[in-house]
Amino acid sequence: MERLFKPSRVSEILRKYGFRFSKALGQNFLIDGNIVSKIVDAAEITKDDYVLEIGPGIGTLTEELSLRAKKVLSIEIDNRLKPLLQETIIDNYDNVVIHFEDVLKSDLKSLIKENFGDNKFKVVANLPYYVTTPIITRLIEDDLNLESITVMIQKEVANRFAAKPSTKAYGSLSVFIQFYSDVVYDFTVPSTVFMPKPNVDSAVVTLKIKDELPDINREKFFKVVRAGFSKRRKTIINALSTYGFDTTKDEIKEALLVSNIDEKRRAETLTSEEFIVLSINFPEI
Ligand code: SAM
């Protein structure tokens, strides 16, 4: 059988079922076997792995995952893809389960338990760009048995995930993602490997989920981070004291002092570890 990543095969399937791409659902399908293979390599998938995919499309990446992983659970929002996926995947690969639902509304915990038991699993996906951050936030905050997330996303967002302090791309999203994971920027992807071509550049990143997280009040931590970055050009003391917290400037000065952070620095120079210490010393908010 001809592999799905061949542009001629993709066109043939789409034509056969009269399928029209939905821009609103971020449907840009892969048509390059080399990239499909590189994504699965970056995720280090072996026959022992359980893999969750989000948005199989016509199943191009799903097929490669099925061949290289133990089991694949794939969640797709678009019911119109049912007959196509029946022909491309369900009829041919018996280690794949496709579940049709919006991943943001699905009961992930139950689905994972049902399909993977208590085993650890990896996420591999070419994500719909309009919901990249909500999907990743949900995955890492949901307290799942998650080992890593390897995803194709907008290059600009990938840069923000991986950014180091004192760079333009560094912001609250970088601190948030790096709190939960070690980020690896895998590779950049040209728009020519998609049908249709997206208007933005893409990249693949891997988030290796940390086994142990600092035992802190996360809500407070993220509030302090967001406040710090709310006025990028201001000093950290000014950004925090004008954010609207119910605290005095002196209390914030004291928290910075105790945390060994010069109040004249800007948030974008603070490491994730410094934000953690600051949030511990910060007054109750
Ligand atoms: N994996 C395929 C590929 O690489 O060719 C398709 C990737 S395409 C960028 C994104 C896929 O995610 C589409 O199939 C789209 O219908 C699906 N999708 C969009 N929003 C979704 C959501 N909220 N939940 C689940 N799937 C979604």
Query: Using CA atoms, how far apart are residues 133 and 241, in angstroms rounded to an integer?
Result: 28
Tell me, in angstroms, the distance from the centre of ligand 1 to residue 54's CA.
6
Tell me, in angstroms, the distance from the centre of ligand 1 to residue 215's CA.
35
Report the topology of domain 218-281.
Helicase, Ruva Protein; domain 3 (1.10.8)
Ligand 1 within 6 A of 59 CB? no
Mean pLDDT of 124-131: 96
pTM confidence score: 0.96
What confidence tens digit (pLDDT) does each residue in 31-80 have?
999 999 999 999 999 999 999 999 999 999 999 999 999 999 999 999 99
Query: Could you tell me which of 273, 137, 133, 124 has the C-alpha nearest to residue 213?
Result: 273
Ligand 1 within 6 A of 28 CB? yes
Ligand 1 within 6 A of 77 CB? yes
Which pLDDT score, from 0 to 100, does residue 192 have? Answer: 94
Give strand pairing partners of 282: none
Q: Tell me the pLDDT of the chain averaged across its residues.
A: 96
Q: Where are the domains of the chain?
A: 7-209, 218-281
Is the model's pLDDT at 126 over the cut of 90? Answer: yes
What confidence tens digit (pLDDT) does each residue in 184-203 have?
999 999 999 999 999 999 99
Query: Using CA atoms, how far apart are residues 42 and 4, in angstroms rounded to an integer?
Result: 20
Ligand 1 within 6 A of 132 CB? no
Mean pLDDT of 125-146: 95
- DSSP three-state, residue 28: coil
Tell me, in angstroms, the distance from the centre of ligand 1 to residue 128's CA.
5
Which pLDDT score, from 0 to 100, does residue 14 have? Answer: 95
Q: How confident is the model at residue 143 (pLDDT cuts 50, 70, 90)?
A: confident
Q: Whose CA is nearest to atom 17 of ligand 1?
A: 55
Is the model's pLDDT at 1 over the cut of 80? Answer: no
> Residue 194: which H helix or E strand, with range?
strand 194-195
Tell me, in angstroms, the distance from the centre of ligand 1 to residue 178's CA.
25
Mean pLDDT of 150-177: 97
Q: Which atom of ligand 1 is nearest to the CA of 36?
A: 4
Q: The domain at 7-209 falls in which architecture?
A: 3-Layer(aba) Sandwich (3.40)
Which pLDDT score, from 0 to 100, does residue 2 have? Answer: 80
Is the model's pLDDT at 154 over the cut of 90? Answer: yes
Say if residue 159 carries a ligand binding annotation.
Answer: no
- Cβ within 8 Å of residue 133, ≥6 positions away: 157, 173
Is the model's pLDDT at 210 over the cut of 80? Answer: yes
**42-50, long-range: CB within 8 Å, 24+ apart, which pairs?**
42/150, 42/184, 42/186, 42/187, 42/204, 42/206, 43/122, 43/124, 43/148, 43/150, 43/206, 44/148, 45/69, 45/122, 45/124, 49/121, 49/122, 50/115, 50/116, 50/119, 50/120, 50/121, 50/122
What confidence tens digit (pLDDT) does each residue in 88-105 have?
999 999 999 999 999 999
Mean pLDDT of 127-139: 96
Query: Using CA atoms, how far apart are residues 212 and 193, in angstroms rounded to an integer?
Result: 37
77, 100, 191, best to mutate for ligand 1 pocket (most atoms within 8 Å of CB):
77
Is the model's pLDDT at 235 over the cut of 80? Answer: yes
Ligand 1 within 6 A of 279 CB? no
